[in-house]
Amino acid sequence: MRVVGGRYKGRLIKSMPKREDTKLLRPTTERVKESVFSILNNYLEGTRFLDLFAGTGAVGIEALSRGADKVVFVENDRRFCRLIRENLKRLRIPENKYEIICSDYIDALKRLAKKGQVFDFIYADPPYEKGYYTRVVNMVRRLGLLDRDGLLILEEPKKNPFIPEDEKWLVEKRNYGTTTVSFLNFNPEEE
């Protein structure tokens, strides 16, 4: 995997060896990353970005490469947490630019809310077959983790996309091959 754009463009990001115990990892494709970040590119400078279900950290690293001020990586699997740290160190990204939370996403979101953290962008790429989408959306909204103009970006399977509880939250939905990416905003003035 490579960083698609920005300061670290073209640099390699290490992934786990393909083994049976890592079969649940489905990295965000370069096409999806390139498309999403070309949409966000002019808005990333100085932002706070949450990479939820981070895997190798490729999405959060892309955000840092394109100017995000701070990225929080949330990943439950300790092997991937080590890999994220290794990728960040290989790129020589300063430690004050990131935080790695090696925890279940529910606990991590609650902890972030308790610390009063708010994000400009939250990218969630949960395992497709687990059905986490509704819970992620509801928790992010209820816990107030998005800035007023912030976006929750969901990567989901095209064949079984997430349908938001309220259509007014959906800013845009784009298809890339077998993947759908939804952009949601919970602007409090419109509620």
Closest-CA residue to 138 (of 101, 173, 100, 110): 110
Give 41-90 pLDDT, tens digit per residue.
889 999 999 999 999 999 999 999 999 999 999 999 999 999 999 999 99
Q: Enter the DSSP assignment of 61.
A: H
Architecture category of domain 30-190 in CATH: 3-Layer(aba) Sandwich (3.40)
The whole-number pLDDT of residue 26 equals 58
- Distance (Å, rounded) from C-alpha 118 to C-alpha 143? 9
pLDDT of residue 23: 46
Residue type at 21? Answer: D
Domain ranges of the chain: 30-190
pLDDT digits (tens, 9 = 90+) for 120-130: 999 999 887 67
Parallel, antiparallel or unpaired: strands 119-124 and 48-52: parallel
The helix, strand and coil proportions of the chain, stated in percent and rounded to the nearest 5, come to 35, 25, 35
Give the mean model confidence (pLDDT) for residues 108-113. Answer: 97
Residue 85, C-beta contacts closer than 8 angstroms, at least 6 positions apart: 100
Confidence of residue 164 (pLDDT cuts 50, 70, 90): low
Which H helix or E strand runs over 84?
helix 78-90
Spatial contact of 12 and 56, defined as CB atoms under 8 Å apart:
no
Task: Give me the chain's average pLDDT, please.
Answer: 87
Phi, psi of 190 (to 5 degrees): -95, 0
Average pLDDT over residues 177-181: 86
